[in-house]
């Protein structure tokens, strides 16, 4: 395993991705709409949404579509086929150099699969004159093995920058019976969040399959946020706004954070180790959380300005 620090897993100055919108690689007519929908990232899919006999055409579509995408604030991500298939190397050779910014690696269960994908990306970057580390790896933890070994999979390459929990495939793999409250996935979700946080990666929750049920989506997103996820995979543009609303810092959260930071400044002047605010104890962990919320709000503000400038110049 390489321990190079040429690139960070997730830049501290960058806001985590709140929404990652799938678009089928076999539907190039949908690419422009997806890129302009307002999602933080667009995932050009070469896996589940593409039939076996359409893989080659989808690769060409995606490589061409990313290369011709023009101005868009959305991060360009490609979900390749699993390393266990005959397609993944062809997928990478087709899209590396097209302008893709990250590769979403599905159904990997062991560190060696992550390492194999990372090695080929490194080789292609070198051969094609791309700066090392330009293309990041996003892990899709959706098998029982992936959840059990997620730490070693992150460790397999410092190119890994984000971990996604795939609840539908994990439920199938583990024998869990999906429910409305998702209680059966609590352990797996929590483990993915903890592992990602330990290695400085954001964690993203999986798709809410009932895409027409925006209230249900909001409820699941709020639950995911409480667990520590920074965003969700989505399958329809209508899901973007409610997901962004949940995973952005609210005015109430920001006002609370500002109040805590003001109290922290007074504590520093007086030398106090703790203080009270509206019946709540304010100590070091509470202050750190407030500072993190304030920093997240500032990153979101910068992202909003960048997106507005991109839209203006389009």
Question: Is 0.75 surpassed by the pTM of this model?
Answer: yes
| Least confidently predicted of 4-13, 221-230, 246-255 | 4-13
The pLDDT tens digits for 161-194 are: 999 999 999 999 899 888 888 899 999 999 999 9
82 vs 238: CA distance, rounded Å? 29
Burial per residue of 90-109, b for 16 or more beta-carbon CB atoms within 10 angstroms, e otherwise: bbbbbbbbbebebbbbbbbb
Residue 8: predicted pLDDT: 61
Best CA proximity match to 300, nearest among 250, 263, 260, 259? 250
Cβ of 268: how many Cβ atoms within 10 Å? 10
Residue 2, pLDDT > 70, answer: no
Residue 227: predicted pLDDT: 96
Residue 3: predicted pLDDT: 33
Average pLDDT over residues 119-133: 96
Average pLDDT over residues 255-278: 84
Cα 272 to Cα 260, 262, 266, 269, 293, distances in angstroms: 14, 13, 8, 8, 23
Residue 6, pLDDT > 60, answer: no
Counting residues of the chain whose pLDDT is more than 90, the rounded percentage is 67
- Band of residue 5 on the pLDDT scale cut at 50, 70, 90: very low
Average pLDDT over residues 152-167: 96
Pairing relationship of beta strands 275-277 and 280-282 according to DSSP bridges? antiparallel
Residue 167: predicted pLDDT: 92
Is residue 151 a contact partner of residue 195, using CB atoms and an 8 Å limit?
yes
The pLDDT tens digits for 87-114 are: 999 999 999 999 999 999 999 999 999 9
Q: Which domains can be identified in the chain, with CATH numbers? A: 19-247 (3.20.20.60), 251-313 (no CATH)
Average pLDDT over residues 45-62: 97
């Amino acid at each position: 395993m390489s321990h190079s620090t040429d690139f960070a897993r997730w830049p501290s100055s960058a806001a985590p991705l709140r929404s990652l919108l799938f678009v089928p690689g076999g539907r190039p007519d949908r690419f422009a709409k997806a890129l302009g929908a307002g999602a933080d990232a667009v995932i050009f899919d070469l896996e589940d949404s593409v039939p076996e006999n359409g893989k080659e055409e989808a690769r060409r579509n995606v490589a061409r579509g990313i290369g011709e995408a023009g101005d868009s604030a959305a991060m360009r991500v490609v979900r390749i086929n699993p390393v266990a298939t005959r397609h993944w190397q062809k997928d990478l050779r087709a899209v590396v150099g097209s302008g893709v910014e990250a590769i979403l690696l599905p159904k990997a269960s062991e560190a060696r699969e992550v390492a194999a994908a990372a090695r080929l990306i490194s080789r292609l970057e070198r051969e094609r004159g791309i700066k090392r580390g330009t293309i990041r790896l996003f892990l899709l933890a959706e098998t029982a093995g992936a959840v059990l070994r997620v730490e070693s999979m992150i460790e397999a390459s410092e190119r890994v920058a984000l971990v996604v929990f795939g609840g539908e495939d994990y439920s199938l793999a583990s024998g869990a019976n999906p429910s409305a409250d998702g209680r059966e996935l609590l352990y797996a979700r929590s483990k993915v969040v903890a592992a990602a946080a330990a290695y400085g990666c954001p964690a993203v929750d999986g798709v809410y399959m009932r895409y027409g049920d925006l209230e249900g989506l909001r409820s699941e997103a709020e639950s995911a946020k409480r667990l520590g996820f920074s965003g969700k995979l989505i399958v329809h543009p209508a899901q973007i706004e409610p997901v962004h609303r949940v995973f952005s810092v609210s005015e109430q959260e920001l006002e609370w954070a500002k109040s805590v930071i003001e109290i922290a400044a007074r504590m520093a002047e007086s030398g106090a180790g703790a203080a009270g605010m509206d019946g709540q104890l304010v100590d070091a962990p509470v202050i750190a959380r407030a500072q993190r919320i304030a920093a997240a709000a500032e990153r979101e503000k910068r992202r909003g300005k960048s997106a507005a400038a991109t839209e203006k110049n389009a």
